[in-house]
Amino acid sequence: MFRDPGSFRDPDSGILFAGNRVYRHFSADAASVFDDLTQKGLLAAFVESGWVIESTPVDRRDAPDVYAAAPNAALIVEHPRLPFISYPYEWPFEMLRQAALLQLEISLEALDAGFMLKDATPYNFQFVRGKPLLIDLGSFERYEEGAPWMAYTQFCKTFFNPLLMQAFTAMPFQPLLRSSLEGIDAAHLSSVLPLRRKFRRAVFLDVVLQASLNRRQTSSNAADGEERKVRPIPKEVIVGTLKRLRGAISSLKRRGGGSGWLDYEAQCPSYTPEAIEFKDHFVEDAVRVARPDMVWDLGCNFGRYSTIAGRHAKYVVAIDGDEPTVGAMYERAEVGDNVLPLVEDLLNPSPGQGWAHSERQSLESRGPADFALGLALVHHLAIAGNVPLTKIADWLSSVTRAGVVEFIPKADPMVQTLLRNRRDVFGDYSQDGFEAALGRHFEIKESVDIPASQRTLYRIERR
């Protein structure tokens, strides 16, 4: 039994783990809100719609050890264990937009029933079966007449502003969200937006005006002992704000969506139709035999092999560093609802972040996977990234127990492209060197040359 290291900021609610079981504990006030949500049928409606995670109340007599781990809890519920936890800085534009729209829809429905969401952050969401899901039931509170929407600034910083930045400047938001877990503030965004964009209604109200108000508030201090009067905010104003943001976000389209990697599978000169068919069958047979619970497709590109793996694995995390390609993959319906596409630079993967470096877990700590695909990947890490083959093999052994990897020799056209503008200092980059590096950690169960190519596939299992 242990507490989730990323669930400590809310004094009224938190997460506990016991093996593969997940529990949420509530204070007396939060438990009362949960009861009201249940009695009004709102929680059941949200769960049925696929908007909110399921929860089953746990009786104190049936789980005394769980209640002992949270002695101040008035109520504990059990949630289904999600296969993989991801973070907003790993999502493409399209996924963050979907989560933002669901946050607003839930807020509108809750407000209509007499409740509000006290926070509005994408960290409260996970993607399940290709759709966002609210996992923080402690976020609900009762609405009080005249109370403002306290989560407005947080919503803008973590949802709206990142989407606006990418839509209007073509700057990807992922690096900024990764370096600033609290999001992008209005002043920062306003400083990079083109002037013509600032006159859009939503941008002017929610970015330009907010940046100005924040500066004024910071520079003006009330006299000692003076209390500021807070004007009551009619519910209609909050509803109008939520709907305005919903309309603005629905209309946003990504900029900078072009990528040479979108057409890689169709245009790669190294593969004939025969070679592609052979590779497809080899990968599918390997995953079918392994029947893994979790597959990581490292360097997934447009998701061809993620889809193949998804036919035989319970869950696939598809990872690629090219954000437009991952976004296109997410929107491609045939990828499968057990495939989670994520933006991840494997040369600089997500680290442990937040408080004590553990509030947001590193990519490696969320593994190891049962099975990994490293197809057309090694030459990018070794040649483009200057990572020795031995270190690549070391890293693979830390993130997977088995898998299929591909080696591409220097004579291949794609490797020659990487070497075109750099000196060849990769004397250890050879097939023998790769096999020796793998052999330090893995048993090579099978190796085959892809027909009509110079490439080799390896099926490996960790020793």
CATH number at residue 454: 3.40.50.150
pLDDT at 267: 62
Instruction: Examine the pLDDT at 132 and tell me if it is beyond 60.
Output: yes
pLDDT band at residue 336 under the 50/70/90 scheme: confident
Distance of alpha carbon 377 from alpha carbon 133, whole angstroms: 31
Residue 293, domain member (yes or no): yes
Let me know whether 332 and 377 are in one domain.
yes
**Among 128-132, 214-218, 359-363, 436-440, the least confident range:** 214-218
pLDDT at 223: 45
Let me know whether 44 and 155 are in one domain.
no
pLDDT at 332: 85
pLDDT at 66: 94
Q: State the DSSP code for 341.
A: E
Q: Give the DSSP per-residue string, 67-86.
A: HHHSTT-SEEEEEPPPS---
pLDDT at 227: 57
pLDDT at 201: 86
Q: What is the mean pLDDT of residues 201-223?
A: 77
Give residue 352's domain range: 260-462
Work out the number of other CB atoms within 10 angstroms of the CB of residue 437. Answer: 21
Task: Report pLDDT digits (tens) over 154-204.
Answer: 999 999 999 999 999 999 999 999 999 999 999 999 999 988 888 888 889
State what percent of residues in the chain have pLDDT above 70: 94
φ/ψ of 185, rounded to 5, equals -80, 165
Let me know whether 434 and 307 are in one domain.
yes
Distance of alpha carbon 286 from alpha carbon 182, whole angstroms: 42
Let me know whether 286 and 428 are in one domain.
yes
Q: What is the mean pLDDT of residues 349-363?
A: 95
Task: Report pLDDT digits (tens) over 238-269.
Answer: 999 999 999 999 999 998 666 666 666 656 66
Q: Is residue 165 within 8 Å of residue 171, measured between CB atoms?
A: yes
Residue 223, domain member (yes or no): no
Let me know whether 398 and 334 are in one domain.
yes
Let me know whether 166 and 69 are in one domain.
no
Structurally, the chain folds into a number of domains equal to 3
Residue 268, domain member (yes or no): yes
Instruction: Examine the pLDDT at 233 and tell me if it is beyond 70.
Output: yes
Tokens (6 digits) for 64: 């005394």
Let me know whether 238 and 360 are in one domain.
no
pLDDT at 266: 58
pLDDT band at residue 214 under the 50/70/90 scheme: confident
Let me know whether 269 and 156 are in one domain.
no
pLDDT at 69: 93
Distance of alpha carbon 192 from alpha carbon 190, whole angstroms: 6
Residue 222, domain member (yes or no): no
Work out the number of other CB atoms within 10 angstroms of the CB of residue 229. Answer: 5
Let me know whether 281 and 144 are in one domain.
no
Residue 103, domain member (yes or no): yes
Residue 225, domain member (yes or no): no
Among 79, 96, 126, the domain boundary falls at 79
Let me know whether 244 and 317 are in one domain.
no
Let me know whether 169 and 241 are in one domain.
yes
Residue 66, domain member (yes or no): yes
Mean pLDDT of the chain: 93
State what percent of residues in the chain have pLDDT above 90: 84
Distance of alpha carbon 412 from alpha carbon 380, whole angstroms: 13
Distance of alpha carbon 263 from alpha carbon 368, whole angstroms: 30
Strand, coil or helix: what is 262? Answer: helix
pLDDT at 82: 97
pLDDT at 407: 98
Q: State the DSSP code for 207.
A: I
CA separation (Å) from 460 to 393, 443, 463?
11, 6, 9
The beta strands (E) that lie in 379-429 are given as 402-407
Let me know whether 273 and 422 are in one domain.
yes
Listed in sequence order, the residues at least 6 apart from 460 whose beta carbon sits closer than 8 Å to its beta carbon are 402, 403, 404, 405, 438, 442, 443, 444, 445
Among 79, 101, 127, the domain boundary falls at 79
Residue 224, domain member (yes or no): no
Task: Report pLDDT digits (tens) over 399-411.
Answer: 999 999 999 999 9
**Among 41-50, 134-143, 249-258, 361-370, the least confident range:** 249-258
Tokens (6 digits) for 33: 């809100």
Among 51, 79, 107, the domain boundary falls at 79
pTM of the predicted structure, to 2 decimals: 0.94
pLDDT at 213: 84
Task: Report pLDDT digits (tens) over 368-415.
Answer: 999 999 999 999 999 999 999 999 999 999 999 999 999 999 999 999
Listed in sequence order, the residues at least 6 apart from 31 whose beta carbon sits closer than 8 Å to its beta carbon are 73, 74, 75
Q: What is the mean pLDDT of residues 76-95?
A: 97
pLDDT at 442: 98
pLDDT at 288: 98
